[in-house]
Chain A
Amino acid sequence: AQSVTQLDSHVSVSEGTPVLLRCNYSSSYSPSLFWYVQHPNKGLQLLLKYTSAATLVKGINGFEAEFKKSETSFHLTKPSAHMSDAAEYFCVVSDLLKGGFKTIFGAGTRLFVKA
């Protein structure tokens, strides 16, 4: 069965410090994994995508994520937080099932960035 668990509903960091948003997934096959960001009153935007190539994936705005199959994790990191990073972040898993890809979202992690 397919599932996504974001381990923290809220994360608070100070500007300039590292960001870690944790995600664990469950998948029957070889999934594609994504991170999306949603700023207040804005649409969902793709940050990065993993599709069985390099396990360390670089995305936009300095974010990156590492796929660890043994830990079924896909944690999102950024070395230095910026005020503009404050938003909701969603980990997403997509599996090829009968009829096409099925894509489900985690519950989200809200990132707060303090000055």
Chain B
Amino acid sequence: EAEVAQSPRYKITEKSQAVAFWCDPISGHATLYWYRQILGQGPELLVQFQDESVVDDSQLPKDRFSAERLKGVDSTLKIQPAELGDSAMYLCASSRPGLAGDAGELFFGEGSRLTVL
């Protein structure tokens, strides 16, 4: 069964350091999402790609966060410098439209848990 792959599963870093997360979506899924989930809250959309293009990054803190999906397949989310408040689970998801052209189901990876000390 196809899955969304994410790495690393866990990352501990000190504040002001750089961090990077990688995501490989399900093959054929044109839409890729990065969400941040703080403990006890719902996932918050950081950035959404359609193929290699960003379609929504309105909630991405662009002074320290960046995301790319150069060939429209896998994606990298970077934080530099990391701050204490960045401690969270970073979730990657992918989707394709439903058969009737509606929004398809999001398939999630297991997430990357970041702890900033």
Tell me the residues in window 87-103 of chain A with beta carbons closer than 8 Å to chain B beta carbons. 90, 92, 94-96, 98-103
Q: Kindly state the separation between the CA atoms of A31 and B102 in the bound complex, as whole angstroms.
A: 9
Q: How many residues of A contact B (CB 8 A)?
A: 26
B residues within 8 A CB of A104? 45
Query: Which A63-115 residues have a C-beta within 8 angstroms of B?
Result: 90, 92, 94-96, 98-108
Q: Which residues of the partner chain A approach B25 to less than 8 Å between Cβ atoms?
A: none
Interface hit among B11-19, B69-77, B107-115? B107-115
The answer to the question of A44 belonging to the interface, with a C-beta cut-off of 8 Å to chain B, is yes
Q: How large is the interface on B (under 10, 10 to 19, 20 to 34, 35 or more residues)?
A: 20 to 34
Residue B97 lies at the interface, judged by CB distance under 8 Å to chain A: yes
User: Which of B48-56, B60-68, B79-87 forms part of the interface with chain A?
Assistant: B48-56
Partner of B48, one of A31, A90, A100: A100
| Nearest residue, chain B, Cβ from A34 | B105
What's the minimum C-beta distance from A28 to chain B, rounded to whole angstroms? 14
B41 touches A51 (CB 8 A): no
B28 contacts the other chain (Cβ, under 8 Å)?
Answer: no
Contact A102–B105 (Cβ < 8 Å): no
Q: Are A43 and B42 in contact (CB under 8 A)?
A: no
Query: Which residues on A sit within 8 Å (CB–CB) of B53?
Result: 99
Q: What's the nearest-Cβ distance from chain A to residue B101, in Å?
A: 8
A43-B108, A43-B109, A44-B108 are contacts. A101–B45 as well, Cβ < 8 Å? no
Q: Is the CB of B31 within 8 A of A100?
A: yes
Assess the B50–A46 pair: CB atoms within 8 A: no
Contacting pair B105 A46 (CB below 8 A): yes
The 8 closest A-B pairs by CB, nearest first: A99-B55, A94-B103, A32-B103, A51-B102, A105-B42, A101-B103, A44-B108, A100-B50
Residues of chain B whose beta carbon lies under 8 Å from any beta carbon of chain A: 31, 33, 35, 41-45, 48, 50, 53, 55-56, 91, 93, 95, 97-98, 100, 102-106, 108-111
